[in-house]
Structure 1
Amino acid sequence: MAYATGAVLIAALAAGCTSDSGSGDSAPDSKPGTLAASSAPPGKYRTLPDACRAIPRATLKDLLPGTADMPEAQQDKVFEGAATVTYDTDRRIGCRWKSDAPEGTRSIHLDFERVVSYDTAVSDDDRAREVYAKKETAADLPDAGLPPESPDASPSGSGDPDTGTEDPDGAAGTDDTGTDGNGTDDTGTDDGKGSGDAASGSPAGSLQPRLLDKLGDSAFLDDALSRAGAPARHRTVSVVFRTSNVIVTVEYTAQPAMPSEVPDSMELQEKAQALARQLVDSFND
């Protein structure tokens, strides 16, 4: 009788373990309510890197002119960066750096977003594609359907010189004033969504906001200049790319010390893209 009772107890325990299988060890990102075999695959990335340590010190020195001349203690403070406030660092994490030099101010904002789908029929990668697509649409890229730097792309975006968009910082945009004091067209070339910087000598269209090739799975570049007449003009170049289920945003801003100076678009775009490529490579390591 004791043997029979023991056998029944063992069978009951085994049944209990089977019914609870996987519930205690499931990953935080698991899609609930269905068997793993029928769920869409999870994303490649389950964690995010420390944003404030994602950019090498040598790169920061290049992106933040004037820091090399600072005392070592001040350099350390600048290069340490300031983490952006987030509620879940496994899903979103960011960092900001800023340097002030006699010639002007430079700043960098880096943001990592790891996308997780809670729909069992939608993979993390597919959900990340949707999130990225919304960011691309919100950027309102001129002629986004054309290949990057296409000769057929209109330098002014939609082709309507009176149609402008607003700077992500809320300062840029277009107006109907025609030109600013520097003779720069404010109706869609050097203010808001522009083509090239007139001072750079680059062909029209080559520096306009656009889709980017060979950068992660998808990428685009935006370039916004603050409105003419502002006390100090600043330009922000943003590069946004997706790699699997992670979306990375790089914002690089320059504000010259002299209000009459206009930040050079070519320099900022080249450096922002170089940083983005460096970050893509770090994800693939």
Structure 2
Amino acid sequence: MKQYGAIEAGGTKFNCAVSDEQLNIIDAIAIPTTTTAETLEQVFQFFDKFESIVSMGVGSFGPIGIDQSKKNYGYILATPKAGWENFDLLGTLKKHFDCPIAWTTDVNAAAYGELKLGAAKGKNSCIYLTIGTGIGGGIIVNQKIYEGFTHPEMGHIRIKRQPQDLFVGTCPYHEDCLEGLAAGPSLEGRTGISGKDIGEENPVWELQADYIAQALMNYTLILAPEVIILGGGVMNQKNLLTKIREAFLHQLSGYIEFESVDSYIVEWGLPNQSGILGCLSLAKDLEEDQL
């Protein structure tokens, strides 16, 4: 029986899984991200129990090297995660595993999972945006992950700041980018309250919705995906999705018509599973492409 392996490599933990040919997960583990040696030793121990893995999919925190013509292909690049900067993760995995390995970012893998098995199933294109401690996004076009000379950094687009918003932002690189103004830490930074404890009537959610809607409008005007999927911890706020949809329509001002904004901007269909299932889907597709 064929088996597929998946690694969702995060700065906090490595989620690893093995599935059967139908992508049913046989076994899975979450390994804390500590040192490169310690973390990968546990990763290898987990996968070495399986003898029928024919391919693997890896979605990694980044930024990562994705250009196969460059020496840094497969590397984790300028990450603030201590000990992981300029680390050849893909090369290290290839030395241990005798099978083909698909390589992309964690959010690209999540977007792919949503397209294959989640909220964008049956579509040819989608955007997946995760809004949590940071903000990142993946783009699927014609059922393929979109990448240029590097992978998209959708959380760092510039946003028009509301005049009443005096919060300096949390991004060390940009004053007015989406991540700095709308990721989870900005909620506590403005209110002094953990995001999960902020009541739904707090005006900070209107501000949050406005900034996210600005980003979604820009993505729509540039890429025109069939669906935009929102995930991550910030989206657990009960009424935030409704507020984002309303702000999105207001900002577009009828320039583009939608059959239903409720079916265009949607919640993730695979909560907390988009990434690992996306990696498994990439592994399966890679193996089938090589037959």
User: TM-score, normalised on structure 2?
Assistant: 0.29
User: TM-score, normalised on structure 1?
Assistant: 0.30
Could you say which structure has the larger radius of gyration?
Answer: 1
